[in-house]
A and B are shown apart, each in its own frame.
Chain A
Amino acid sequence: MASPQPRIGVVTYPGSQDDRDALWALAALDAEAVAVWHDERELPDLDAVVVPGGFSYGDYLRCGAIARFSPATAAVREFAEAGGFVLGICNGFQILCEAGLLPGALLRNESLRFVCRDVPLTVERDDLPFTGRCTAGQQLVLPVKHGDGRYLPPPGLDPAQVVLRYADNPNGSVEDIAGVCNEAGNVMGLMPHPEHAVDPLLGSDDGALILASLVDAARDRVLAAI
């Protein structure tokens, strides 16, 4: 039997920018990428969800503060609470933090400058649905592009929830944290953009390790359900 193609949704909010790259990258990594519109109250039948980057609702008030109340975010919350895999990238990370699905908050970069460059990262956890193809301690190079990426963990964050750290901190994030997961490990957010780094032609294909890990994990879920 041919291995099944998992269905991975990508949510588009007004102001999302990286939804198309995420759809393209997931399809290139052999998933069926499904576009989800922000006013959908129910998600289609999905095996994982990506909340992409951009400037949802103009980033008004605080990044992610308005998107948190959109119907699709409520559906993503239900999906996550049922154990579904959810990956938030950049603005998606900010939305998941505002929604309380991930701990902490993202603040204005310490430099007050928008940063747009490739940064080296160290993988801290390789046992998650998002890092199965990585090895702990491995270094990845992924692009960042954000003005509000300084991660502030809540008091007493379990260090085991840190998935990625910057090897060269671009924004002043506390303890160099670049990506975190929830306690259960089924929801992850990161500021760097794996979807912009799935082809060596674009400078790095390390992003494929993260997205292909998600595709693997979503496929395993499909197989487990058969």
Chain B
Amino acid sequence: MRATVLVRPKPGILDPQGEAVGSALGHLGFDVRDARVGKVIDLELHAEDESAAKAEVEQMCERLLANPLIESYEVEIVG
């Protein structure tokens, strides 16, 4: 089974990387109001079914992939 994890800086957390990307896009002539930079983690794992996979990946996020103080995460099971 394949899963994709999206990790984002939480709203309100200053994201200087996002600001730099946003201002670079502005220099290219794009009308960008805000940019935030997170990360994508693609996983391949063994699991009984989709809901078991989701539960397991959420555990991974809680324990390692995201820091709950500063980041939010979203799990997508690709199947």
Q: Do A and B come from one complex?
A: yes
* Residue ID in chain A nearest B39 by CB atoms: A61
Q: How many Å lie between the Cα of A104 and that of B64 in the bound state?
A: 16
Given A112-B17, A112-B20, A152-B13: A107 in contact with B70 (beta carbons within 8 A): yes
Contact mask for chain B residues 58-79; partner A; CB cutoff 8 A; 1 contact, 0 none: 0000001101011000000000
Q: Is the CB of A112 within 8 A of B67?
A: no
Q: Mark A26-69, 1 if CB is under 8 A from B, else 0.
A: 00000000000000000000000000000000000110010001
Complex alpha-carbon distance, A128 and B36, angstroms: 39
* Residue B26 is within 8 A (CB to CB) of chain A in the complex: no
Residues of chain A within 8 A of B64, CB atoms compared: 61, 65, 69
Within the assembled complex, what's the spacing in Å between the Cα atoms of A112 and B69?
20
| Chain B 4-42 interface residues, beta-carbon cutoff 8 Å to A | 13-14, 16-17, 20
**Could you tell me which residues of chain A, from 100 to 153, have a CB within 8 Å of some CB in chain B?**
104-105, 107-112, 150, 152
A61 to B13, CA, bound (A): 18
Let me know if B70 and A152 touch, CB within 8 A: yes
Give the CA-CA distance A163 to B16 in the complex, in Å.
26
Could you list 28 examples of A-B contacts with CB < 8 Å?
A: A61-B64, A61-B65, A62-B67, A65-B64, A65-B67, A69-B64, A98-B67, A104-B69, A105-B67, A105-B69, A105-B70, A107-B13, A107-B14, A107-B70, A108-B16, A108-B17, A110-B14, A110-B16, A111-B16, A112-B16, A112-B17, A112-B20, A150-B14, A152-B13, A152-B70, A154-B69, A172-B14, A172-B16
Closest 10 CB pairs of A and B: A105-B69, A105-B70, A112-B16, A110-B16, A105-B67, A108-B16, A112-B20, A154-B69, A62-B67, A108-B17
| Interface set of B (CB-CB < 8 Å, partner A) | 13-14, 16-17, 20, 64-65, 67, 69-70
Can you add 4 more A-B contacts, CB < 8 Å, to A69-B64, A98-B67, A112-B16? A61-B65, A65-B64, A107-B14, A152-B69
